Amino acid sequence: MSPRRIHSQEHAIRSSPFFPLAFLFLLATSSCSQLLALIPGVTIRSPSEGDTLFVGQPFRLVADSDLEDPQYAVSRFQIKLWDLNSGYGTTWEVETIADDGPNIADEFLLVPQDAPPGEQYRLTVSVLPGASTTNDTSLPISDTIKVRLSHSP
């Protein structure tokens, strides 16, 4: 390939009306993970991504939230275990450990006996505000991991 042809291809790309948009998209996606790290939210500490939970057995859930602004007033976490394939789902609510300091959930939760085993389960932990001082509750603050559900070994 001649250098002149490469130059003309570069010129064609840069002269495209979509170049500015494509450049902005690449810039935004490359910085997205860095920006998301700055946004306060919820982090699931246990179980870990890909862990196996067992039907009829308890599992330890540890999650925390770094929301500190007064408008959040976190008092509870909502935990959902749901399967993409079967549509099965169950929900728990747990209180935070401390009124002051970090918002932490550390509970043993029992997987229901009627939960079908599966490879495509998701575990979602969301913040439930206690006494929100704002009326905007449209943005859920949560973390989701993929887990498996199996019969006891």
Over residues 126-138, the pLDDT tens digits come to 887 654 444 444 4
pLDDT higher than threshold 60 for residue 27: no
Q: What is the number of H-type helices and E-type strands within the chain? A: 2, 8
Q: What is the pLDDT of residue 135?
A: 46
Over residues 38-54, the pLDDT tens digits come to 445 788 999 999 999 99
Q: What is the pLDDT of residue 67?
A: 63
pLDDT higher than threshold 90 for residue 66: no
- What is the 3-state composition of the chain as percent helix, strand, coil, each rounded to the nearest 5? 20, 40, 40
Domains of the chain from N-terminus onward: 3-38 (no CATH), 42-150 (2.60.40.770)
Instruction: Please count the residues of the chain.
Output: 153
Question: What are the DSSP calls for the chain, one per residue?
Answer: --HHHHHHHHHHHHTSTTHHHHHHHHHHHHHHHHHHHHS--EEEEESPTT-EEETT-EEEEEEEE---STTT-EEEEEEEEEETTT--EEEEEEE-S-SSSSEEEEEEEEPPTTPPPEEEEEEEEEEEESS-SSS---S--EEEEEEEEE---
